[in-house]
Chains A and B, each alone.
Chain A
Amino acid sequence: MESINDQKNYKKNIKAYHPKTNYFINCLKAFLVGGFICFLGQCIESFYLAVTNFNEKTVGNPTVATLILISSLLTGFGVYDKIGQFAGAGSLIPVTGFANSITSAALEHKSEGIVLGIATNLFKLAGAVIVFGVVSAAVFGIIRLTINNLLG
């Protein structure tokens, strides 16, 4: 008889003991929380459009900065990680997730000091986003510019 600890079939055998992923509930949670954060962003945007002299094109700057401030503070209070456990991608994909990854990495390494702990680890998780963002922007930018130049 096949043993359950058989190394060859380990992955197959443990499958039955894995908690089942409920795709629908996870997606619903991500939709509601992610949608709510974007709704909140729209509220902040409308507020800045009405109160300050930012226009449609520039209003994204203060809106994103405000959301990042809120998210950093929530991370400091330990609330954002709880939201993250509930919402999955719903709190990961909005820009608040980017701020959360920076703040939580910095907090986690605080004990190693301000320079070696906080400052060096700030971009531990968010660095990948910036690297791939810049590299892809450069690649797509060069391709587009070359095509534009060739077409005259």
Chain B
Amino acid sequence: MEFLWAFVIGGLICVVGQLLLDLFKLTPAHVIVSFVVIGAFLDSFGLYDKLIEFAGAGATIPITSFGHSLLHGAMAEADQHGYIGIAIGTFSLTSAGITSAILFGFLVALIFKPKG
């Protein structure tokens, strides 16, 4: 069942992105940036955690979860260290994603030849 919900919720989030592209003629960069900000905003009321509980990877794989993780990590540290904790914790949960994206991106660019 969790597989079905991951598919449906993940797909629906992408449909919202497609509508922003087609109807409002936004560039892909604007759409992704909006999604990250929306994800961070939804974390404010614990809404995104509920979505993750419900949809699993359907909520953690879309880029909205990047914004959510940034704020989530920041708030976890802020509980202990106050305002400076926001700076300490921002990347604590997204470190794996960013590190692997840089590492694999760099290695692939070294090895492969550009296409087209």
Contacts and interface: CB of A to CB of B under 8 A. Distances in A.
Chain B CB within 10 Å, residue with most, of A23, A78, A93: A93
Contacts of A45: 56-57, 60
A42 B3 contact: yes
Interface residues of B, number: 74
Contacts of A110: 109, 113-114
B90 A138 contact: yes
Interface of A: 21, 23, 26-27, 29-39, 41-45, 60-65, 67-69, 72-73, 75-78, 81, 87-90, 92-99, 102-103, 106-108, 110-111, 114, 118-119, 122, 125-126, 128-130, 132-134, 136-138, 140-145
B14 A90 contact: yes
B10 A94 contact: yes
Interface string B1-23: 01100111111111111111111
Nearest to A92: B28
B2 to A, nearest CB: 6
Nearest to A66: B100
B6 A42 contact: yes
19 contacts: A30-B14, A31-B14, A34-B11, A34-B62, A35-B58, A36-B7, A42-B7, A42-B56, A43-B3, A62-B96, A65-B100, A69-B100, A77-B115, A81-B116, A93-B35, A118-B106, A122-B109, A137-B71, A137-B74
A111 B58 CA distance: 37
B63 interface: yes
B112 A35 contact: no
B51 to A, nearest CB: 12
A37 B65 CA distance: 15
A68 B101 contact: yes
A133 B40 contact: yes
A68 to B, nearest CB: 5
